[in-house]
Structure formats: structure tokens, C-alpha cells
Amino acid sequence: MTHAARSVIPFDVRQIISIDYRTAKIFPTAVALKADALPANLKDFESALQTVGVHPDRDIDAFTFALFDGPRQTQEIVGVASGTFSAMTVLTQLALGKFRPSSHRGIDIYPISKTMRVVLLDDHTLLLGKTSAVKAAINVRSGQAPSLETNREALKTIETVEKSTTWSVLDKTATQKMLTLAVGETTKIPGFAQIRDQALGARYTINFRGGIRFTVDVFTPDNVSATKLSAVLKLGLLYKKVTTNPAQRSALDDVKVTSKQLTPDSPRSELRIRFMVDQREFQALLQSRCFAQLWSERKELSGLTAEQIPDGGKQSGQFSSVSE
């Protein structure tokens, strides 16, 4: 993640999602998955880039998204795109499109659609989002609110995943929301809420060498909590296999759930969910449009988007690091 991206992300961010476009373009599996299952909100950000003369597949090296609570307890999302484009190209397109900027803390904000705004952070970095989200990010950059740069726990977790093609880290609240949506009907199990609330944070990665590897790690305070969560998720997988269509059932057969202690001297444990298929299996799943269907039903597990946090931000942002 670039310094420019970190400078606009709030300290108490709920979720960060980052996509290495430069690496993804190397792997046919990544290109195919992006074409087949790209969430609508990410397409909106890519369309915004094209409006200002930036082509995502050619000019972007990395795209980072941050989800956080706004000043009125609404969920906000900003995207930070960095690449080989130039500020001059963007400014020229803005002038040709007759987009007139407003100013916030001395920084120009260009309205390029009814909902999307764009800001030049430096010669090769753009900030995108709706007005309230962009202004909140500018406030962080201007020092009016603490930034991710001061959140040591979040930065520790990011260091463990940022070499992956696609990665994400989630705070406590976002992790618990993800688990609720992931287990589906099994949330009716007595005591599930108490088990879920033991989750401290999560990270996940998607890598594409030789096929696709999707790994989710959920951090818990102890091995007992990790074991209980593991049992609930395994039950959720079994329920899904029984009730889903054949294409999705085939994909779920490749999902493994395990739990273990982080290190011998650490009280914390992790629950790991892993999906791995080779190139041939991946192509078969794409042809069945399995990923498009799963993405539609379980957007919070796509690594590219997230559902709205329901509690209005009552819990403070908290990340769990793998290092003590």
C-alpha cells in the first residue's frame, strides 16, 4: 500500500481492500475472475477512472479501498488508485469535460458524476468517492483526524498480507458482520452470537499462481473460541452443500476450515478458511458461472466489497495482529 493511500485512511477504519492490478494482469485466472465476478461498486470506481482518461487495465498499478464510519455514523468508502498515469492527463480530461472543482481545506474536489468525486493526491495517485467520504479522507490527510499511519495493530496485520495479489484486513466489527453473513442459516444455532463476538479481527488474501488460492484468517483470543467458530462454519458449509446448486457445491468441496494457536507462546488463535483449486478446476468453475453466483450471494467474502456495518459504529475499530 502506498504512503498516499495510508495518509487518507482513518485510524479506526473498518476494512481495507487492496488489489495489485500490475500483478493480476500476469495471471489469466485473475483476469478471468475479474471479468466474470467484478462487483458493481468496483466497476463504478473503474468507470470513474476512465472518465478522467485513466485506463484501469493499462494505467493502474494498485487500487486500495477503505471502508469507515462517517461523522454521522454512515458507512463511507473511498478508493485510492496509483499507477503510471500523469496528473497532467487527468487535469486535461477534467478541463475538457468542464468539471468545475469545489475546495475543501485547500484541496480541489472534482464532481465527475452525480455521486463520484475525484481528487489528485499527487502526480500518480487519485482519491475517489462520494463527497462526504472524500472530505473525510481529506480531513485525515490534513491532520484533522488520526490516520492509519498511527494504527500499529492494523499496520502489523497489513504487513503479513500486502504481498498478495488481492488482500483485505478487517476490524473486529467488520469481522463479526462477515461471519454472520458467511454462516447464513446456522446463525440460529444457540449461542452463535456469543461465539461470533469472540472474533478480534480478520485478514484474507487471493493469489492466482497455478489457479486460485483464497485464504481467510479470523483471529480469536484463545483456541477454545477458534474451535467453536470452526465448528459453526463447518456446519454452515454442510448446510450450504445440501441446499445449493451443483456448481456451487463443487466449489464448496474445495473449502477447508481449520483452527490452531498462532504461536506456542501466544494466547491467541486463528480460524483459517481456505479455498484452493488448480487451473483446470478453476476454468470449469468459471464456465459454470459459479463465482458470479457466489459473489452475488456472499459479497462480503469476495475480497472486493463489503456489506454495511449494522451497529452504527458503536464498537471502536480494532485489529488483531499475528504478532504479539
Stretches in the chain below the pLDDT threshold 50: 295, 298-316, 321-324
* Pick from 68, 55, 179: nearest CA to 126: 55
How far apart CA 248 and CA 289 sit, in angstroms, is 9
* Pick from 129, 23, 2, 18: nearest CA to 65: 18
DSSP state of 268: -
How far apart CA 30 and CA 18 sit, in angstroms, is 14
Q: The C-alpha cell of 187 is what?
A: 446463525
Residue with cell 485489529: 319
Q: Where are the beta strands (DSSP E) in 179-279?
A: 201-207, 211-220, 255-261, 269-278
Residue 186: per-residue pLDDT: 66
| pLDDT, tens digit (0-9, with 9 covering 90-100), for 163-204 | 999 999 999 999 988 888 777 766 677 788 888 899 999 999
Residue 252 in contact with residue 274, Cβ under 8 Å? no
Residue 299: per-residue pLDDT: 47
Residue-averaged pLDDT of the chain: 83
Residue 155: per-residue pLDDT: 93
Residue 287: per-residue pLDDT: 65
Q: Which residues contact 280 (CB under 8 A, 6 or more apart)?
A: none
